[in-house]
Amino acid sequence: MKPIGLAILLFATSCYAQEPSDFHPAATNVWGAEYPRVDGTGRVQVRVKAPDATKVRLNFWSGPKLDMEKQADGFWTITTPPLVPGLHYYTLIIDGAEVSDTNSVAFFGGGKYTSMVEVPEAGSTYYSIQDVAHGQVREIWYNSKVTGTWRHALVYLPPNYDTQANVRYPVLYLQHGGGEDETGWIRQGHANFILDNLIAAGNCKTMILVMAYGYARRAGQAPPDLTGKPFGSPEVMKAMQDMTAAFEDDVTQVLIPYIDSTFRTFPDRDHRAMAGLSMGGMQTFQITLNHLDLFSYIGGFSGAGGMLVLRNRKLDPKTDYNVVFADPAGFAKKVHLLWLGVGMQEPERMRSGILRLHESLQEAKIQHVFYESPGTDHEWQTWRRDLKDFAARLFDNGKTK
Amino acid sequence: MKPIGLAILLFATSCYAQEPSDFHPAATNVWGAEYPRVDGTGRVQVRVKAPDATKVRLNFWSGPKLDMEKQADGFWTITTPPLVPGLHYYTLIIDGAEVSDTNSVAFFGGGKYTSMVEVPEAGSTYYSIQDVAHGQVREIWYNSKVTGTWRHALVYLPPNYDTQANVRYPVLYLQHGGGEDETGWIRQGHANFILDNLIAAGNCKTMILVMAYGYARRAGQAPPDLTGKPFGSPEVMKAMQDMTAAFEDDVTQVLIPYIDSTFRTFPDRDHRAMAGLSMGGMQTFQITLNHLDLFSYIGGFSGAGGMLVLRNRKLDPKTDYNVVFADPAGFAKKVHLLWLGVGMQEPERMRSGILRLHESLQEAKIQHVFYESPGTDHEWQTWRRDLKDFAARLFDNGKTK
């Protein structure tokens, strides 16, 4: 009868006595979990039961790493300094084992399901559910001849897609970061609510979002043996390029035709955009700039020009990216929007790399938008803001905004 | 640049040297995770890094609970005895902290995101993705006046729903168990693939599935204070009844009208079924038997007649369930299918409770189907089999099968 008992447990755990403070359970908690808790200043309290452990550490990936304190009841607790608003990945390190906090909803990041805590941004409603018309997120499975596997993707269809059976829509392909997956833009990013709210306010065109799984290996290809190869080594760089090339073929040869034949899209370059965050930004630049016949709107969120950033060098318009940046007038005619963004608190190497790309593009006289997110790191609050700004500029000839 | 590095990590972790055995990474692992591994006999190998722990236990919820063995490299390992085929919840207990294994996809069960391992069933393809036409799973949000909250549900629409714009479909409402949520029937149960495969083979009617979130509390109602109240106490029983009653109102007053106005359903009792597992089976019996004006097909998977099972007593047709069982002929006229199932290896109290209900129904001359799943416990393999059998009997006047 355990499962029935467990339902009761959910009730019971929501009955802890409240301390007199403005700490509240985080929105990212599972139902009934009192911890983590967040206060109005952004401080976070975490609590975990580990009665026999000798050391428990709280490990925010882009934030504080703190030893927790053991209490007499076998629970370990800690209160962090104030964190910037947004959604923060964290893990617990219990006697050397890095695990997720089971009080949290599990989000896919870092190649595993991990815990996150949402620190609210005062006054921001653009990424939460509002009483407006909602689109629907659909799960699709498509059989890829490139990878030889069934691949899972999420598709956001805007409000009234079902009822306006003669209307066609433009499409934004929206990619997750490294270590994340096709669910990230909905679960972490709230891309569906961002679009619902933008559309309801008349601040963006009604569009379809397609969120694909960004890892790929060609059918029959063995995984690369990277044992002992450091990040940045030629072998690792080649593995990344192989993966991106396989993903490029999957997107351009399989996914786009599948989407255009399954949903009511405008199946042409003027109505097709791509953007991605971090690794997804790197992929977006490669895929779109290799296929300007397919895309006319391009967004790099904390990852534009990834290979240049990784290699720590400037853009060379005469050699890089199929030489598309060598002819500013021709580029401006073809590409309706080129958009770069980065958080002001991102790690120096990322921030300076994107800034260098921005300056290179200015020198090359390539028209583009450059957006810096105040106060935010290489995290989802940056990318929610990016999407809000980017989506509003799409499919209306970006230059008018 | 960590997230880019993490993508590489995913590559690297798929390069461990393979031991010469038939152990393979479980289908439930995250991409690239070599452990847990399963062999042809159903044995499972689990491996976790916990270099500073003094005790690590592997805890299958319906299966072995074993101390793991510490290796010189800081990893703990164990091989289980053979497990029955199916999907098994497990946790790791690291120095007293019960956590999920981050090598596994996280499934919502036990009121938290937890790890599972899939032990394949030789020759069974009915619950895996096949090269047939696929339906789509959609996420919907509806605003419930009963709970005063936005509620999330999943809806499976069958193949060709979009292209056959004049076709209407019957609906099966399908509920998760206690501690699980609206995602369970897709993530754990593979209900979408089960339906795809049944439909492709012509073994069931084309239908819509609706999977709702089974917890509910009335708007403005405070959570019950169950501190110190044991499972089975009057206070806990009342809390369960209050929750089920709120859920009943949500389903009958909000969800069903929302579904019937959003999707192309046949909005009548002859084309509406409900089934659920464990707690969901208990809810199904209460909701359907209180609303025979709305439902005509009823399925209880390891949870039929939940309150009777909990109270350890026989069905009394003269007092229980609105007295619907007092008139067998009238009941048979109204209810096209009453279906009960239980796994042969379920805990004695559950098994004997369902068996007692089956016998009570026989005594009361109530026509029904009783199915026992060979070899399986209070787990998802039982419920996958239940759904396969139950769905095949729907919307065709169940008695003809």
Q: Model confidence over B187-226: pLDDT tens digits? A: 999 999 999 999 999 999 999 999 999 999 999 998 888 8
Report chain B's mean pLDDT, rounded to a whole number. Answer: 92
Question: Residue B112: what pLDDT?
Answer: 96
pLDDT band of B240, cuts 50, 70, 90: confident
The shortest CB-CB distance from B8 to any of A51, A192, A239 is to A239
Chain B residue numbers touching A113 (CB-CB < 8 A) = 30, 100, 102, 104-106, 113
Q: Does B236 touch chain A (CB under 8 A)?
A: yes
Return the minimum-mean-pLDDT range out of A297-311, A350-364, B349-363.
A297-311
Identify the pLDDT of residue A361.
Answer: 95
pLDDT in tens, B277-305: 999 999 999 999 999 999 999 999 998 77
Closest to A141 in 3D by CA, of B152, B131, B197, B27:
B131
CB pairs under 8 A between A and B: 259
Contact at CB, B98 and A49, closer than 8 angstroms: yes
Residue A360 pLDDT class (50, 70, 90 cuts): very high
Comparing A255 with B307, the larger pLDDT belongs to: A255
How would you class B392 by CB atoms within 10 Å of its CB: exposed for 0-12, middle for 13-18, buried for 19 or more? middle
Q: How confident is the model at residue A2 (pLDDT cuts 50, 70, 90)?
A: very low
Q: Is B223 in the A-facing interface, judged by CB distances under 8 Å?
A: yes
B99 neighbourhood in chain A, CB within 8 Å:
92, 94, 97, 99-100, 102
Q: Nearest Cβ partner of A12 from B10, B56, B226?
A: B226
> Cβ contacts (< 8 Å) between B139 and chain A: which residues?
136-138, 186, 192
| Among chain B residues, CA nearest to A193 | B141
Q: Mark yes or no for CB contact A111/B239 under 8 Å.
A: no
Structure tokens at A187: 């679960």
Whether B31 contacts chain A with CB within 8 A: yes
* CB–CB contact A139 B141 (8 Å): no
Asked if A134 and B143 come within 8 Å (Cβ–Cβ), the reply is no
Summarised one tens digit per residue, pLDDT across range A235-264 is 888 888 899 999 999 999 999 999 999 999
Residue A160 has pLDDT above 70, yes or no: yes
Q: Please list the residues that pair with B274 across neighbouring strands.
A: B173, B298
**What percent of chain B lies above the pLDDT cut of 70?**
93
Judge whether residue A19 has pLDDT over 60: no
Residue B238's pLDDT band, with cuts at 50, 70 and 90, is confident
* H, E, C per residue of A31-53: CCCCCCEECCCCCEEEEEECCCC
Average pLDDT score over residue span A12-36: 76
- Residue A310's pLDDT is what? 67
Query: Do residue A96 and residue B49 have CB atoms under 8 angstroms apart?
Result: yes
Question: What distances in angstroms separate CA A222 from CA A155, A180, A242, B9, B31, one per listed residue?
Answer: 30, 22, 12, 16, 14
Provide mean pLDDT across the span A384-401.
82
pLDDT in the model for residue A21: 74
Q: Which CATH superfamily is domain A18-119 in?
A: Immunoglobulins (2.60.40.10)
Pick the CATH number of B11-119 from 3.30.300.30, 1.10.3720.10, 2.60.40.10, 1.10.3210.10: 2.60.40.10
Tell me how close the Cα of A398 comes to any Cα of chain B, in angstroms.
29
Q: Does the domain formed by B136-400 have CATH 3.40.640.10?
A: no
Q: Is the pLDDT of residue A398 over 90?
A: no
Of the CA atoms within 13 Å of residue A162, those in its CB half-sphere come to 18
B123 vs B225 pLDDT, higher one:
B123
CB A350 within 8 A of CB A309: yes
B237 to chain A, any CB pair closer than 8 A? The answer is no
Amino acid at A53: A
A224 touches chain B (CB under 8 A): yes
Q: Is A11 on the interface with B (CB under 8 A)?
A: yes
Q: Is A195 on the interface with B (CB under 8 A)?
A: no
Q: Taking CB atoms and an 8 Å limit, are B96 and A51 in contact across chains?
A: yes
A5 neighbourhood in chain B, CB within 8 Å = 178, 231
Q: What is the pLDDT of residue B310?
A: 67
Contact B9 A111 (CB under 8 A): yes
CB contact (8 A) between residue B5 and residue A53: no
Query: Is the CB of A95 less than 8 angstroms away from the CB of B8?
Result: no
What would the pLDDT profile of B334-360 be if each residue is shown by its tens digit?
999 999 999 999 999 899 999 999 999
How confident is the model over A135-148, as a mean pLDDT? 98
Question: Looking at the predicted structure, is the pLDDT value of residue A77 above 80?
Answer: yes
pLDDT at A82 over 50: yes
Q: pLDDT band for A33, please (50, 70, 90 cuts).
A: very high
Calculate ∠ Cα A272-A273-A278, nearest 5°: 155
Contact B278 A227 (CB under 8 A): no
Res A7 pLDDT > 60: no
Q: Does residue B390 surpass a pLDDT of 70?
A: yes
Assess contact for B396 and B205: CB atoms under 8 A. Answer: yes
Q: Are B82 and B43 contacting, i.e. CB atoms less than 8 angstroms apart?
A: yes
Contact of A207 with chain B, judged by CB distance below 8 Å, is answered with: no
Mutate which of A77, A102, A233 to test chain B, going by most B C-beta atoms within 10 A?
A102
CA–CA separation, B179 and B351 (whole Å): 20
Give the sign of the dihedral formed by CA A316, CA A318, CA A320, CA A324.
positive
Asked whether this chain's domains A18-119 and A136-400 adopt the same fold, the reply is: no
| B240 closest CB neighbour out of A2, A8, A310 | A8
For chain A, percent of residues with pLDDT exceeding 90: 83
Residue B81 preceded by cis peptide, ω within 30:
no
Would you tell me which residues 155-184 of chain B have a C-beta closer than 8 angstroms to some C-beta of chain A?
Answer: 162, 165, 177-180
Kindly tell me if the per-residue pLDDT of A232 is higher than 90: no
Q: Which two tokens stand for residue A246?
A: 């396989």
Taking residue B228's Cβ as centre, other Cβ atoms within 10 Å add up to 8
Ramachandran area for residue A110 (φ above 0: left; ψ -120 to 50: alpha; else beta): left
Whether chain A has a CB inside 8 Å of the CB on B140: the answer is yes
CA–CA min distance B329, chain A (Å): 33
Which residue bears the tokens 């755990």? A13
Domain boundaries, chain B: 11-119, 136-400
A136 touches chain B (CB under 8 A): yes
Instruction: Tell me whether residues A141 and B134 touch, CB distance under 8 A.
Output: yes
Other Cβ atoms less than 10 A from the Cβ of B121: the count is: 19
Interface of A with B in 344-383 (CB under 8 A): 347, 349-350, 378
- Judging contacts by C-beta atoms under 8 Å, the chain A residues touching residue B112 are 30, 33, 102-103
Residue A88 φ/ψ, nearest 5 degrees: -115, 125
Average pLDDT over residues A22-40: 96
CA distance A291 to chain B (A): 23
What is the DSSP code (8-state) at residue B265? B
- Number of helices (H), then strands (E), in chain A: 10, 19
Interaxial angle between packed helices A279-290 and B2-12, expressed in degrees from 0 to 180 and rounded to the nearest 10: 90
Q: State the Cα–Cα distance between residues B260 and B258, nearest whole angstrom.
A: 6
Give the residue-averaged pLDDT of B164-175. Answer: 96
Distance between CA B225 and CA A298 in Å, rounded?
Answer: 53
